[in-house]
Amino acid sequence: MKRKVLFLIFILIISIFTQAHAFSDVNRGDWYYDNVSEMTRQGYLKGYDDGSFRPSDIITNAELVSVVCRVSGLKENNSGNKHWADGMVQSALKAGFFDWDEIPPTGETYDEPINRQLSIKIVMKAFLPGRSGDYNNVSTAVRDFAKLDGRYYDSVIAAYSENVIFGDENGNLNPKSSLTRAEACAIIMRAANIKGGLTPYEPPASQTTKPITLRTGGVSENGYLSVEGTRLVNERGDTVVLHGMSSHGLQWFGNFASGNAVKAIADRGANLFRCAMYTDEGGYIADKTVKDTLIRAVDSAIGQDMYVIIDWHILSDGNPLTHAEEAEQFFAEMSARYKDSPAVIYEICNEPNGNITWNENVRPYAERIISVIRENSNGIILVGSPTWSQDLHEAAKNPLNGENLMYTCHFYAGTHTDWLRQRIAECGLPVFVSEWGTSSADGNGGVYLDEAKKWIDFMNERGISWANWSLCDKNESSAALKNNANLNDGISDDELTESGKFVFNNF
Ligand code: IDC
C-alpha cells in the first residue's frame, strides 16, 4: 500500500515536471527545441496561458530584457510603474545593459518589437561584457555591416567573433529588423553558455544545415554523398545505403511530416525521409503554402541527422514539362536555401507517365532542372523515367551528362515483380528506389510481403537505397500507420500496420 502511494506521488511529480516544459507548439526536432526546453526547465521562460510558447512571434523590448535579467540573475528593482516588466527594465538600465534613449524607462516602447542590434548589445553586456573581436574581419564578413548604427559596432563585433550571432544565408545581420522569441532564446543561450552558464557550450545547431542529434548512419557520419559508377558513396568513398519512409502527399498528410514524426522514424532506425510535395491534386501549383510544410519537414529531418529527399511529386500531370517553369523556380529556391546542407537530395519528377518519352520530355526537363540546381549545389539529383519511373531501359539508351545523378525506379510488390528487378540489374545505371510499396500499384490491396521480401533481398544485395510509401494513417494498405496513430511519443509496434511492421523491421 505504502509503495503504491509513493509510486503515485512519483508519477504525479514526474507529470508536473514534464508538463512544466512541454509547450504545445515546441516539438522535438524543432531547431529551438533544446534551447527552449532548457530555458523552461530552469524557469526562465513562461509561455502563454493556452500552453503555447509561440516561438515564431516577434519578441518585444520588455520580453527580451526580462528574460536576459532572469538568465543573468539580475534582481528586479521595485517600481511604481504598472507594466509587468518595469522592475526588470529599470535594473537592466541601471546595470548598463542599454541606454536611456534605447528603451526609455517611461515605458512607451516596452511592448514594441526590439531590433536585432539592440538585443545583441543587451545580451553581450549582460553575459560577455568586455569581449571584443576584430573590426576588419567582422565588417567584411557581415555583408550589411554598414546598416548598423555606430553605437552597436563593439557589441556586434564581439558577438559575431564569439559565435553568439551568425549571418543569415546571405551573410546579413539585418540589424534593424526584429527577431522571434525562438531566435532570442538562441542568442541568450549561446552567450550564457559561453560565459560558462547552464550547460557546456556546444556549437549551435543552425536551423538548416546542422543536426541537433547525431545518429549512426546519419549525415554527421557520412557527410556529402556522391555517385561512383552505380553506387552511392559517402565522403570517404564507402558505399552508403539509405532506408526510410516517404511522406504521403504533404497537402493532405503534412501532420505526419512533423518534427515528431520524423524523429519517430529516426528513432526506429531510418536514415532517410522523403517529402512528397504533389504538384497537382491540390498540391504546390494550387497552394504555395505546401512549401512551408515541406521546409519544416526538411529542417526537421536535418535536425535528426537524416538524409532528406525534396520530391517534386508529379503524378496526374504526367508530363514533367507541364510545370517546368514552376519547377525551375522551386528548385532554384530550394537549392539556394540548402546549399550548405549535405543532407538534401533533390528528386525532380516523381513519376512521368502518359503519352511521353524519355528523349522528348523527361530528358530535356531534367537537363533544365539539373542546371538550375547545379548553380547552387552538387548534391544528389534523382531523375524519374516514363511509365511511372519504370523505364530505366529507355533512360539507359541516352543517359544524362553530369555528376551525382541517379535514376529512380518505383515498384509496388503486388504489381511489379521479377521483370522489373531484371530491368534494374541490366540497365547499368545508378538506381535509387525513392518510392516503393508492399501493396498493389494503386496504393491498396495485399499486402504482398513475400514479393516485398524478394525486393528487399534484391536491393540489399545491390546496396540500393529506398524510401517506402507511405508514412501516414490513411485507410489504404500501403500506409504504415494505423488510424489515429499518435507520433508525439514515438511509434510503437501496435501503431504500425502490417505493412509498417514489415518495413520498419527492414530499416
Ligand atoms: C497514391 C496514394 C493514394 C492517392 C493517390 C493519388 O497512395 O492515397 O489517392 O496516390 O494521389 C505512386 C505515386 C503515389 C501513389 C502511389 C500509390 O507516386 O503518389 O500514391 N503510387 O498509388 N506511384 C505508384 C504508386
Tens-place pLDDT, residues 79-113: 666 788 999 999 999 999 999 999 999 999 999 99
- pLDDT of 129: 93
- pLDDT of 44: 79
By CB neighbour count within 10 A (0-12 exposed, 13-18 middle, 19+ buried), where does 244 fall? Answer: buried
Give residues (CB < 6 A) around ligand 1: 281, 315, 350-351, 388, 410, 412, 435, 441-443, 469, 474, 476, 478
| Cα 456 from Cα 448, distance rounded (Å) | 12
Q: Are 351 and 316 in contact (CB under 8 A)?
A: no
Is 351 marked active-site? yes
Whether the full predicted model's pTM is greater than 0.75, yes or no, is: no
SS3 408: strand
What are the C-alpha distances in Å from 242 to residues 117, 218, 269, 334, 351? 43, 9, 10, 21, 20
- Which residues, given as ranges, of the chain have pLDDT below 50? 11-21, 199-207
Q: How many helices (H) and strands (E) does the chain have?
A: 19, 11
| Cα 301 from Cα 249, distance rounded (Å) | 17
What are the C-alpha distances in Å from 235 to residues 340, 342, 475? 15, 10, 41
Residue nearest to atom 13 of ligand 1 (CA): 315
Is 325 marked active-site? no
Q: Are 293 and 257 in contact (CB under 8 A)?
A: yes
- pLDDT of 103: 97
The residue among 67, 58, 97, 53 whose CA lies nearest residue 177 is 58
For residue 63, what are the contacts with CB-CB under 8 A and spacing of at least 6? 85, 114, 181, 184
Neighbours of 486 (CB within 10 A): 13
| Cα 304 from Cα 212, distance rounded (Å) | 6
Q: 326: CA distance to ligand 1 center in Å?
A: 22
Atom of ligand 1 nearest to the CA of 350: 18
Q: 221: CA distance to ligand 1 center in Å?
A: 33
Instruction: Work out the angle at residue 237's Cα, subtended by the Cα atoms of residues 468 and 434, and round it to the nearest 5 degrees.
Output: 15
* Pocket mutation for ligand 1, best pick of 314, 469, 476, 481 (most atoms within 8 Å of C-beta): 469
Q: Alpha carbon 138 to chain centroid distance?
A: 29
Domains and CATH numbers, the chain: 5-195 (no CATH), 242-504 (3.20.20.80)
Q: 249: CA distance to ligand 1 center in Å?
A: 9
